[in-house]
Amino acid sequence: MKTQAGIYIGVMSGTSLDGIDVAVVQLGQELKLIGAKCYPIPNETKTAILGLTQPGDNEIERLGKLDIELARLFAAAINHTLHDLNLNRSDILAIGSHGQTIRHRPKTGFSLQAGDPNLIAAQTNIKVIADFRRKDLAYGGEGAPLVPAFHADQFKSSHTSRVILNIGGMSNITVLPTQGEVRGYDTGPGNVLLDAWCYRHRSLPYDQAGAWAASGIYNASLLEKLMSLPFFHETPPKSTGREQFNIEWLEHMLNQSADYQLSPADIQATLLELTARSISDAIISEKHNAPEIYICGGGAHNTALIQRLKQLLEPSSIATTESLGMHPDWVEAAAFAWLAYRALNGLSGNLPSVTGASKETILGGIYQAG
């Protein structure tokens, strides 16, 4: 097979629902980010997504409508990006579309993403690679996280062990030893609970730089209760999502802890500590020297969270992936462009040492343009 090197697009909307990320990437011998942009998700679409992450009425009808709505938003974002970069659609070999995760149930073998790739292909007139997770699930894997394969390809060093920490709605780590197998898994919540609590009490989409959390004092008893969740004590491979970590779960835990008499700021501080501790516990549990930790995802901008991680993970150095040549905001979207490149060239996209799948396999289905 002749290698199809050239320009690919990665598009995704993560569990944080902070926007639709589009990354345009030159792929072949090396990766070059040509351009990237984040597009807002309309509030009514966010509401529809959140409404489907938990069981409810009329789910199939609502999912069908959302599948079309998200595909149109993804296609529009891609078309706008091409226009802004003065690129022709004929310049693009394929789009890697992750879609929007609605339910992720690896223990029962399914993961469902919305955003119909047929419609994206029709409205962009570009070939689309999508449905990346279910092939890994078919071979007994978690179907997630998938991005560690990209981290290993781009960021592994033969001289120094590294950890790549992605803090999106959920957090996941990729452990990159100088020798031996790559490991990676979800550690628990990233921004998801922090954002939800901030919106509930301040009507803001997120806590800017973690300033509100920094104004509070975390409660050790509540933190212990939150960290008693079995997920935190499971051994990898493991993955999670909004099905587990959501505002309803948080309020249930708070209702069981009403005697703590905490202010909203103190609860935000406790949620920040939950994210920081679950991440640091996972990294420390790997029991090997990782002198370099690089952060990507929206959480890279949470100054209070990063400061706390530096305290918990001392003496490891902590920086963002910008130090490795890639802006932290675009790593995940670039990863799905890379997965599209892998699929189109008949190359595997998963790491069994990460997902627990029984074999390496090509990920994603191909949806032709035109």
pLDDT tens for 165-193 read 999 999 999 999 999 999 999 999 999 99
Q: What angle do CA 85, 14, 362 make, to 5 degrees?
A: 80
pLDDT score for 363:
99
Task: Please indicate whether residue 127 or residue 53 has the higher confidence score (pLDDT).
Answer: 127
User: 254 with 109, same domain?
Assistant: no
Please indicate if the annotation marks 364 as binding a ligand: no
pLDDT score for 260:
74
User: 256 with 343, same domain?
Assistant: no
pLDDT score for 43:
95
| 67-93 as b/e: b if 16+ CB within 10 A | bebbbebbbebbbebbeeeebeeeebb
Please indicate if the annotation marks 250 as binding a ligand: no
What are the Cα distances from residue 163, in Å, to 78, 180, 187?
31, 14, 13
Distance between CA 12 and CA 79 in Å, rounded? 14
Q: Any idea which of 89-103, 203-217, 253-267 has the lowest mean pLDDT?
A: 253-267
> Looking at the predicted structure, is the pLDDT value of residue 258 above 90?
no
User: 178 with 108, same domain?
Assistant: no
DSSP state of 169: S
Please indicate if the annotation marks 18 as binding a ligand: yes
User: 92 with 228, same domain?
Assistant: no
Could you tell me the residue range of the domain that residue 172 belongs to?
148-324
Percentage of the chain beyond pLDDT 90 is 92
Asked if residue 345 is part of any domain, the answer here is yes
User: 59 with 75, same domain?
Assistant: yes
Average confidence (pLDDT) over 99-109: 94
When pLDDT is cut at 50, 70 and 90, the band that residue 200 belongs to is very high
Asked if residue 1 is part of any domain, the answer here is no
Question: Could you give the strand order of the β-sheet that contains 170-176, starting from the edge strand earlier in sequence?
Answer: 183-189, 170-176, 162-167, 292-296, 317-320
User: 223 with 313, same domain?
Assistant: yes
User: 204 with 320, same domain?
Assistant: yes
**Number of structural domains found in the chain:** 2
Please give the distance of CA 192 from its chain centroid, rounded to a whole number: 11
Please indicate if the annotation marks 263 as binding a ligand: no
User: 137 with 158, same domain?
Assistant: no
pLDDT, the chain, mean: 96
User: 40 with 189, same domain?
Assistant: no
Radius of gyration, CA atoms only, the chain: 20
> Looking at the predicted structure, is the pLDDT value of residue 294 above 90?
yes
Please indicate if the annotation marks 20 as binding a ligand: yes
When pLDDT is cut at 50, 70 and 90, the band that residue 1 belongs to is low
Average confidence (pLDDT) over 95-105: 96
User: 63 with 46, same domain?
Assistant: yes
pLDDT score for 289:
66
What's the pLDDT tens digit per position in 146-171?
999 999 999 999 999 999 999 999 99
**CATH number of the CATH domain containing 120:** 3.30.420.40
Please indicate if the annotation marks 57 as binding a ligand: no
Please indicate if the annotation marks 15 as binding a ligand: yes
Please indicate if the annotation marks 16 as binding a ligand: yes
Identify whether the C-beta of residue 20 lies closer than 8 Å to the C-beta of residue 120.
no
